[in-house]
Amino acid sequence: MAYLEYRLADNSGWYSHDVSDQRWLSKRPAKLASLFHLEEEIQFMRHRLEQMVQSGEAMTSESVIEMSTLLDHKINEYMNLVQKSR
């Protein structure tokens, strides 16, 4: 099975978080938190999609197509947010 490859941000290069007093040290914490949240959603959705196909659901089944479409939207949202934050 083939998957479209995409790159998620290297979090260590984008923001810093001080665990001792729970403060964001970045100038743009809200956008970076949004990126991190989207990365987690994308990973979860991708894993779920892989599980669906590996469990025997057809790639053309309604549920697989729906999950794939939602994943595409999340990836596009992530890429748009990355471009805006540059």
Q: Is the distance from CB of 78 to CB of 38 less than 8 angstroms?
A: yes
Higher pLDDT, 50 or 29: 50
Provide the residue ranges of all domains of the chain, joining segments of one domain with +: 29-84
Q: Any idea what DSSP says for residue 3?
A: -
Model pTM score: 0.64
Which of 8-12, 60-64, 79-83 holds the top average pLDDT?
A: 60-64
Show the 3-state SS of 25-79: CCCCHHHHHHHHHHHHHHHHHHHHHHHHHHCCCCCCCHHHHHHHHHHHHHHHHHH
> 3-32: buried (b, 16+ CB within 10 Å) or exposed (e) per residue?
eeeeeebeeeeebeeeeeeeeeeeeeeebb
pLDDT of 3 higher than 50: no
Residues of the chain with pLDDT > 70, as a percent, come to: 66
At 24, phi and psi to the nearest 5? Answer: -80, 135
Higher pLDDT, 1 or 25: 25
